[in-house]
Structure 1
Amino acid sequence: MAETEKCTINVDAEAMAAICEEAQHSGIEASALIQRSIHELAISTGRVRQESVKLPTAQFDVIDAFIALSKKLEDHGLFDEHFVLTVFRAAIDSPTLRDLYERAVDGDAYAVKLPGKTPLNMYLGWYIKNAVGAEPKVDARGQPLRVQVRGEPIQSYTLLRKAGR
């Protein structure tokens, strides 16, 4: 992910309610929807260098694809605590989604230490969780349970459970 700038804004309460509703419908948080909208506005001005547009646009595309895939896999009854890994495996098994993912990480899906891969994978885990209304599975101290894996596009992920269960 590129270097970022922090921005604080005031939004009309009714507008914010509409943004929150749209974000929930999309399976993302309002801040993610606002961030994307600002990015798309910046691109539409024509003042953003093309090389600066390519990677974030690919990342937004892969996020959208992973959200849709997450919902589809959940609808097919495939949700379990390893759902993040299930979604990644299904995405990489699809030639179209694998290509999309590899453009977003700017390298091979199974490569390690690609500069943008770790932050994108963290975001994707978060979007996968939110897309299906899940939450982290936690230990007795309330700490999220994480799993380390090898030979996968991700090196670790948080176990999930359905919210409220």
Structure 2
Amino acid sequence: MTTNNTIRASLRLKPDVHAAVLKAASARGVEAATFMQNAIEQAVYEFLPEERRRELEMMDQFFTIAQDLARQIFDQGRFTEHFTLTVIQDMTENPDIRLLYANLIGDDDILKTGVAKKSPLNMYLGWYIKNAIDAKPLLDGSGKPRRAFVKGQIIQSYTLLTLN
């Protein structure tokens, strides 16, 4: 299945390799699919165009900052169901992180909506923040993740969190 910016691929893994992927992904604070995607990107890095390599480096830097900050905020006792928003607000208070985000989305106006690169970047950002502290989505009465909507932020919505 192909979308505008990704191609779905599947592969088979031996059980021991799969178990190792799950352990490695957990140790890094990411989901197994994200871990495998990163491993493949690293394996083919030298064959990618320079622009794509720079983008991967910036994304890695951005998500590392997000996870480090999420852990720091969590350790400060600032966890609430709105943890994702708290981390993002703290990130966007830093001019260097704002610039990095602007470069990743290809637009200096980081609050602008409708920027094509924002949606996938923000989706991953939420996952990295959630996984940094081993949280999970807060569910409503019917078992669906609860979401909050915001204005004047780099995101328009986010999933409310609870701790595992």
TM-score, length-scaled by structure 1: 0.89
1:8-19 correspondence runs (5 A): 8-19=10-21
Computed over aligned residues only, the root mean square deviation of the Cα atoms, in angstroms, reads 1.8
- The question of 1:100 aligning with 2:131 is answered no
Secondary structure class of the residue paired with 1:161: strand
Deviation by residue 1:61-98 (Cα, 9 ceiling, x = unmatched): 21121111111111111110100100100111122222
Distance of 1:161 and 1:88 partners within structure 2 = 17
Which of 33, 36, 39 aligns to 1:37? It is 39
Unaligned 5+ segments in structure 2 are none
Letter of the structure 1 residue corresponding to residue 93 of structure 2: D
Distance 1:89 1:75 in 2: 17
- Residues paired across the two proteins, number: 161
Q: Is residue 135–residue 161 contact of structure 1 (8 Å, CA) maintained in 2?
A: yes
Aligned partner letter, 1:82:
H
> Separation in 2 of the partners of 1:4 and 1:118?
13
Instruction: Check the 8 A contact 1:56/1:104 in 2, yes or no.
Output: no
1:76 to 2:81 alignment:
no
Q: What's 1:127 paired with?
A: 128
Q: Alpha-carbon deviation of 1:127?
A: 1.5
Deviation for aligned residue 1:58: 1.9
Corresponding letter in the other structure for 2:63: I
State the partner residue of 1:60: 60
Name segments (4+ residues, structure 1) moved above 3 Å: none
Question: 1:92 touches 1:109 (CA, 8 Å); kept in 2?
Answer: no
Alpha-carbon deviation of 1:51? 2.3
Question: Separation in 2 of the partners of 1:73 and 1:109?
Answer: 23
Distance 1:52 1:2 in 2: 16
Indicate the residue corresponding to 1:137 in structure 2.
138
Aligned-partner SS, 1:18: helix
Q: Does 1:153 align with 2:154?
A: yes
- Whether the 8 Å CA contact 1:70–1:131 is kept in 2: the answer is yes
Aligned mates of 1:57, 1:3 — CA distance in 2: 18
The answer for unaligned runs of 5 or more in structure 1 is none
Deviation at 1:2, TM superposition (A): 6.7
